[in-house]
Chains A and B, each alone.
Chain A
């Protein structure tokens, strides 16, 4: 059995060129078996706007060197983690003076050691688990941010006041050289009155990448809704003209975007319309048919 926990799963650091970070990570063996493990670090690049990771297209940066500070362990060296025990791993990242001011993203892996496989046994599953390190290499602690809102749209096209929820979609584009957390809100107004506000969930938007927005659950205070959800407005809504404004936090130096849309009680209108048409045209149709029949 393999059962490992890594904590923390992701950590962000700001480091100067020529600087060094020391990061502590705890690996816990939750299983009842001793595990022989090794460590490694791999660079990555963002895979999708939803947070997927891509290792294939990542290029190693020779200006950043990782090593472990544990006295009994080097990076890549196998170590034994007894059942139900934990070990603290102290990772150092040394950034060269020559390094550009930019971001670099890495995963620190703890893997089962393949050399422990028994060649006389049948196939075996090996497992590895990773935690991310986001490094912002910068001469300043205040990372300059430049955000932009893209593809702000509202679904569905026909907005019914009774049945279908209204979903807000947008992408936060990071135009700067360093990551930031998306912060902002969608404000819904009708007749210049605020009907509802939706707080954006603070997603990590990596340098020169974009990230789809998600929101805190509107029914709960922001700190109690750790699970982001689609930014949506649930029915019923009063019919009328609404304006949705997506505004980012001023620290992100981003513009706002607004969309005006109409909400109408289509789910009431359409059946009534069909019924009215049926009442009007059915007798005429039947009369015409009677006339035509011999």
Chain B
């Protein structure tokens, strides 16, 4: 790295990169604490009911087994802030896979042997894990995830749709999906003799972990330290604390020893959240020129019996296209399923699959180019709120993407491009994601030797947070990047929000920007050498981030995809994929590009390989490991490009940035599905497009 100040946006190399490529970066289950014990979760093997007995004698007789925690002997918790954390507190089994015991041993092998030797009996009750469109338990919730109203109506949808000369009325069905970050959820916990709990947790936000554990164990937040120094991905599933943090802390309290607990891959689907399945009815009414008159998107989804989580899949339709008449609704049924939660772009990812597929169907009905259809319905103001957009780069993304992809030469006729046994096709879809920012605290310190140190409890789950926050501070201070050190990933640092909602850089960056600006002012006013202790300035952005904006603030994007469909095997392969995004100012072109491409890659998985099903009899996810749940591999991702357009939006935050962690997946699967239809002439209204589904439709 050079010693000259670099402009914000420069492709600075990841600060922790060397530690990661040499294997010295320590994750949550790699702390090397002396005397550490290993814990193994014992999941319920019935889908509903209660535990009637746990016989531990054989397990405890296993060599090396130290303890078995059950609801009979586990430490009592205060009511946790999330019901999924109330583990080993009573005998109920809300779903298959719910923890009913924890075996703690000298080694992992002994802990697993102990778990095998446990005898658990259950009283089972009727269970239901199957979501249907006419499920008797469906109800309309107050709100969907993110605090959005479950129902919004504008104008008179029914009349406008009935009177529309061109109509599309289609239903899309999506299976549950799993986040599967490469690092399984893990915690290492220890209690000091004075009663201070330290938890190394694989989380997206250590401040939240600290607060939740303090509440659950009924101790002050000053008695808990949560450390998330390096985190092996999360994609939402580590957003708030997961049961392993509570279980590890309980086991450490019970045994008086440090305890390491890493969930097994197969245990994750039931314990860390999933993207809920959705059934989405989309109705689009348009005039002969393609102008939308009416848009409806109606969502059916599931939640668990212990908490209400409603995938807000109809929300992006409130943002995307202008129409005087609209209805967007969510209904949910509480089933005996594991609790759903956030998975990369909750709401937007499934919702935009359906909306953008339906737009493609409408374009076909109209014999209108799908890019042109979107451009004709690009509104000046946000349809739902009527607020002006702070910036809306959708049209620019569509145009630039079409140019780069070579869209202008496309023949819209489906099913006519052959290459031997392959059918080729291209597709387009839009992307959107809201701009969020949360309050945070940061400190900025200037040392007498001319170097700086920034402190904030941000979390780097792979985004490059350390690097970009140092860049923001260096930019404000006019300092070479190498002269700015940064500490993150520890709840003893100034409190900050979690890495979620694509808001990390905006939220943490805002606090860092404010602290560094305050420091720069102090230094400008200072004469003579700095005191030995240096100068420190702290900042709190509670006020700024709470200010209501008169603008609708969203990032936008456009995906273009080309697929090849093998008519012999039904296999669908990505030929190439190109995304263009308008997301404010990109603060690090190297790590930013990686995030966009990472999101698009997860979208390829959603489109072609990823899908999970709940076994109606056993009540559990069938595809619960990486051999059965197929995340994309290297060979699945051939040519993929991400570009962005420069946006100068003064209505966001001091950096002018929008979030980029999630928008890459939004719309990606629709672009692939639309390309599949262009290739084959067949419209499949479900994902993933696996050979078994595809082949039956190919003559």
Chain B associates with chain A: no
Query: Which residue numbers of A lie inside 8 Å of B, CB to CB?
Result: none
Query: Which residue numbers of B lie inside 8 Å of A, CB to CB?
Result: none
